[in-house]
Each structure stands twice: as C-alpha cells, then as structure tokens.
Structure 1
C-alpha cells in the first residue's frame, strides 16, 4: 500500500481515471446534507462554555471545509470530517464546565492531542491498528456502524425515543416520523429503479415537506424541532476564538495533571472512533485492497490528525472523520472529489448558514436509516457458525448501537476477539484449527483492559 501511495505522488487525487464527476458531486452533496446539522449543533454545544456562537458557526464550517478538502486532495478518499459529536459535548460539559478549565485551555488540550496524533500517524502506529483488524471484524464494524447510524436516524426522526423504564421505546406517529418514513420510501423506490442520487432526493423531499409543515403550522412544527430558515445570508468573524491557545497551565502541577487526563481522553475516544469509521465505510464501499487494508489509510489518518490540530487553532473541538460519509459512499462516492465537494459546501455554509441550519433531523434521518440497511449487508460475509469469529462480530455489531459509540463497540469486539481466540488456541490441539492473533491486536486488548480498569 505504501508503494502505491508513492506512485500516486503528493496528490493521489490526480491519479484518478474514468471518474464520474457528476456522481462524485452528488455523493459529496449527500454527505454534506446528512452532516450539515453540525453547523448548528456544534456552536450550540460549545457556546455553553462562553464561546460566542456566531464565531463558532464560522469556525465549525471553516475547519470542516479545510479538513474535507485535505482528505480529498491528499488521501483521495470520500470521507468527510468535522468537529466530532460526543467529543464536543465532552469538551464543553465535562472539561470546561465540569473540571472548571477555561475553553482556551481545553482548545490547547485538543491541539496537543492533534500533535500526538500527527506523530502516531507519521510513525504508522494508527495505520498498523487499522490494518491489524481481521476481515471478519472489519465486516462486523461495517454492520455495527450500520445499526448505529440507523439508530441515530430513528432517534432524530422521533421514531425511537427515550424511556426511563426500558431505556428506549417507539415514539408517537408524529409529523416528523411521517416525514422520515416518506423520505425512506422515496429513497428505497428510487434506488430500486437505479435512479442516481436517490438518497439526496430523499433528503431534499423530506426537507421541503418539513418546511411546508412549518409554514402551515409554525408553533406545532417548532415543538418538533422544525423551523423555516431565518434568512439566507449570514457571516461572522472567527477572531474571538481563533488562535486563543493557552499553554500556561501546562507549566503548573495541578494544571498539567488535569490537561494530561483531558488529552488522554480525547486521544482514546477519537483514535478508535476514527479507526472504526475508516474501516467500516471503506469496507462498505468495497475499497479494501487484496489484503483487506484501507487504501491510503496512512494519509487519511494524517489528514485527520492535522485537521484536529488546525481545528483547535481555529477555535473548535476535535475534528474527526464522520460516519455520515457512508451516505455519500452509498450514493456512489469513491474518490476524493466527494470529500472536496463536501468541503466546498461547508465553505458555502459559512455564508448561508441559516439555510443549512434549518434542515431538520427528520429530513436527514431517512438517509441514515437507509444507509444503515445497506451497511448491515456486511453480515453475510461473517461466518457465524465459527464461534471464535461469530461471537466477537456479534458483540461488535450490537455493542456499537447499544453503547451509542463506535469506539466502545470496537473496544468490546477487539477484547472479545483476542480473549476468545487466545483461550481457544490454548486448548486446541489441532494447529490447523488455531486462529492467528496478531501482536497488534493483543497489544490493543491490553490497552483496552488498562483503560477499563482506570475508569
């Protein structure tokens, strides 16, 4: 894989041949629309720290745009990046508010995390982890992400809601559920008819239906989280939050102790979320090479690391690869042109944020649910009759959805895979029936055990 990367030169995207640019653009638009919610959600979460929301909108878009374009140019992969959900909540509520750390210090921790990731990527540590995951587990990660994003879509549409007694239950048959179901039907029918851009059509139709409902019954729509765009053009400076890193607390015992804990947490969560996303989406796109490795994985992970560092300088929390990239892949995206398209749309969103902010979750839910269905198809490649492969795969798939975390699901899967197979090998006398477990996987399992013991 390394040799192929060298042959591609500095910009692998230029080595593409016979690319369907129209399909790549549609895929990029599809990816953007399914993750455009971050334009509104990230500022809403991070502003709880005292950071100005207007500046956060611009920084969120700018960091995502640069990251996506870098991914397209230097890794030639259809993966989009932006400030990560979960990581932004940890940044705001656990670090800044919970630990009493200033948002400037928290941004510094994100910056340090990115620098560490850059070194881990340059020394191919992250790439080694990606490539060490067995094919069975890679298929399980794909299927697990499918269940995970479908769950996100169902929650976003109101089809699944919180319940204190049973954790989750089916929601009421509300307008948001109806809009989402209409979107799913449109996507399914158009996809069956081989219509290009079926997922994009589903999102756009659901968005128009939602806005139509808001026009007819604004109060009822507002109660369901549906709003009409509040204008068209809006732009705010990033000056209040850009370049505000604060390294002073690294030189005090108390400050350094807090920041080390924060940096390690950011590192662990982002590391395995990104690994899981790369493996799962690449597998779904049939982009794995003959050895089951993600093409240009080293470049992709380096871009991810650089983007995190750059994002901190711009004033936003950890930038990471988005699982919503799978919607663009399902729409036919296979090259960096998909990511570049998504990046350009984030640049546009900086100036037209009211429109993109107004795209409701019930409109993106159909895409997430349908792509979840497509990704779940990876289970057909898993040998569930072989317990040493089937059980870890099952735990990975179910773990991602039930823990609401790709990283946690991957942790459960790798731990179970290593322990089950090592114990099996210990008592198995037939050498041919023993499963080869890589050293990297064993090291990962040890790291996970230490991590779990320290929680």
Structure 2
C-alpha cells in the first residue's frame, strides 16, 4: 500500500512537471490564432479544452504519460498559411482541422499510416520539424519587433533603442538561462519575468508601441476571474472547408499532425525505454487514435490541431510511467477556464520569447542529417529554409518532396523512392500549379 501511494505521488508530481513544461501554450496559441481574426478569450477557452480533453484521454485510453495540446507549427500553418496566405476564413480553416482529424483517424484505424510512414524519407521528417522551428522563431522575432520590414533588404534589425525590444532581449536572455539550467517551468517563468519587466513601459518610461512596427504591447490588467468564452464552439465550416482548392490544406494538417505525433511518440519511447516487445513505442496505435480524435475535437471547439508534446519528456524524467501523469496534467489546465483574465497582462514580447525558444528546441533533428550526402542534404536544406523565407510551411514541405524525388531519380537511386511518395509529388505539383 505504501509503495502504491509512493508511485501515485510520483505520477502526480510528474504530471505537474509536464503541465509546467506545456503551460505556455495557453498564452502562445491564442497569441498566434488571434492574428487570424479569432477572439482571443475564446481561443484561450478552446486551447484549454483541447489540452484537458486530449491529455486526459491519452491517460485513460492509451495509458501513456504524454500531454496533448494544440501544436506549435500547426497553429502557425493555420494562421499564416491557411487564413492569411490562402485566404480561408477561420471558420473554413477550423473545418479543415476537423476533416484532417477525420482523415488522420481513418489512417490510424486502417493502419494506412504505416505505409505513409515508410513512403516519407526519414531525413525529410527531420527537415519538416526543424523548418517549422525556424518559422516559429521567425514569427516570434517579428512579434517582438526585433525583426522588421525593410524596403531594400526585405528584413532588418529593429530599433535597439526601443524599450520593448530591450525588454524582450533581457527576457529572452533570462529565460534561455533558466532553460539551460533545466529549471522546471522555465519558459512560463520567463514569460512571467518579462511581463513584470514590461509593466512600467508606457506608464513610467518609454512608449508601449514598437518603433517601426506599430504593435501596441502595453501590459493591461483586467481582473482575475471570468467565465469561459465558448463563442468558437461549433463555428467550423463543414462544407466550405472541403472545396477542391482547400484539399491541400487538409492534407498538410493531417500530414504534419501525423508525423509530428509519430516522431514525438518515437522520440519519447527512445528516451524513456517505454516500448512494446517489437521495439515500437508503447500503445502506439491507441496513442495515434487519441491524437486523431483530439484533432477532430480541436476543429469542433475552435482551435488548430491538437498533438503530442515533446515536453512530456519533462514528466517522464520525473518518473512518470503511466496515464496518471497525463491525466494530472490535463486536469491542471481546467482551472484556467475561469482565470483567463490573468493572461491579458501578458504582452506580445513575452509570448514571443516562448516562440523563439520553442523554435530552437525543434532544430534538434538537423543533427541527425548526414550533410555529406548531397541528395539528402539539399532537400533537407530547401525544406528547412523555405518555410521562413516564403512564410509558408506548405511551400517548404512541397519543395522538399519534389527536390528529394528529382535528386534520387537523376543520381541513380530511384529504388529509394516509394510509389506513395510519387503520388504525393503529383499532388504537390497540382497544388503549386493551382
């Protein structure tokens, strides 16, 4: 009995650690999706609902200590590519998230995901994760006003005399030190510190508007308690989102979610040793099924796709081995349904810090690339660099597929090209032509 209590206590503490590592999404996800014209308070509610639902279901059904929440990268694709780039309404984009979840669910149930996994080269999976990381960091630097538009060079360094940029750099440095010292909840602590540092700006010194950027980032206090804003629930456009022109958006949502989740499960299994008898991640099919169901749920409640979080490794390192860890983390999200006004005091420079650092975490897969093999390295480079330079995750992915296939064909390595990859390339060409 004593050992059981000790194990449960360890799992709960692990769940708290995972929650602290992923808590930043409550702030960062609304900051990104609100740019697509969605109400900030409603996105907070949707984000919390998805994080709680996905994590609790992961613990109950898949019995894995893995947190599920709206994914970084997926929210950037939703806002900057689907809505701002392709012109979808956010309602249609939510519909695309829903149908991507349905597609992901079908692939998981029918085990077609296994064939897709085999078709996509491992190197391109690494490149996609890293490219999204660069894109997220670029967005973070923009939101902080550190990187600004320039007519001559397209981009340039913002004014270092701006008090907001100075505060951003101090906050980024402090948070980076906390992360480097492996302090639990380092990112959220860095956000809090930066928010405190930003409080005097626009009140006692400086201007609360970024020079040459025009973004008001003054810290505002609007109370502690508020009822949840459910205005985004069931606002998705079921029919409008399945137009022919929008099918590539659904494909990218499903594809990115699938490989993001799969790579997370594989990575966590390798790090923790939680594998089945065949050496695969434990309860992989159930985990992917929950991930797919959470994506469907995300579209229904009003946010971008939910996915497994690599930050779950924090809880696993603290001894989390069972679903109790995920359930604990999921339950800890729920109180913030009623304390969302506290998030209004967080300025954009604070959430920008999380974007920059989370983007840096996503660069790790590039270390696995053999840069001495050109037909591997060039597609990886194009995938990674084109995402931020074209401001499109889709463009980076498509040119990665196309360049990989062309180089393999013309270097006498056509046996390395899976037939399914050929089909994906044809779809990519059709999308680019349209």
TM range (shorter): 0.7 to 0.9
- The verdict on how the C-alpha distance between 1:356 and 1:131 changes in structure 2, with shifts beyond 3 A counting, is farther
Candidates 235, 242, 246, aligned match of 2:227: 235
Contact 1:72 1:338 in 2 (8 A): yes
Q: How does 1:61-140 map to 2 (within 5 A)?
A: 61-75=48-62, 76=64, 77-81=66-70, 84-87=75-78, 90=82, 94-96=87-89, 111-140=98-127
Which residue is 1:153 aligned to?
140
- Determine the structure 2 residue equivalent to 1:175: 163
Match of 2:250 among 267, 270, 276: 267
1:449 aligns with 2:432: no
Give the direction of change, closer, same or farther, for the CA distance of 1:81–1:246 in structure 2 (3 Å limit).
Answer: closer
1:9 is matched with none
> Within 1, Cα distance between the matches of 2:355 and 2:313?
10
SS of the aligned residue for 1:178 comes to: helix
Match of 2:3 in 1: none
Q: CA RMSD in A?
A: 4.1
Alignment of 1:252-401 (within 5 A): 259-261=242-244, 264-278=247-261, 287=270, 298-314=285-301, 316-321=302-307, 325=309, 328=311, 340=327, 343-401=330-388
> Is the CA contact 1:32–1:342 (under 8 Å) kept in the aligned structure 2?
no
Consecutive unaligned residues of structure 1, counting only runs of 5 or more, are 1-15, 98-102, 427-433
SS at match of 1:401: helix
Give TM-score scaled by structure 1 length.
Answer: 0.73
Cα drift, residue 182 of structure 1: 2.0
Q: 2-side partners of 1:54 and 1:189: how far apart?
A: 31
Structure 1 distance, partners of 2:313, 2:151, is: 35
Contact 1:392 1:413 in 2 (8 A): yes
TM-score (structure 2 length as normaliser): 0.76
Find the counterpart in structure 1 of residue 416 from structure 2.
Answer: 436
Structure 2 unaligned spans of 5+ = 1-6
Distance 1:364 1:23, change over 3 A: farther
Q: Size of the alignment, in residue pairs? A: 409
Contact 2:119/2:417 (8 A) holds in 1: no
| Residues 406-415 or 219-228, more deviating | 219-228
Residues 341 and 18 of structure 1: is their aligned pair in 2 closer, same or farther, counting only changes over 3 Å? closer
Q: 1:225 aligns with which of 217, 227, 234?
A: 217
Q: Matched residue of 1:209: which SS?
A: helix
Q: Pick closer, same or farther for the CA change 1:20–1:158 going to 2, 3 Å.
A: farther
Tell whether the 8 Å contact from 2:70 to 2:306 is kept in structure 1 after alignment.
Answer: yes
> In structure 1, what is the Cα distance between the partners aligned to 2:55 and 2:330?
5
Alpha-carbon distance in 1 for matches of 2:392, 2:186: 28
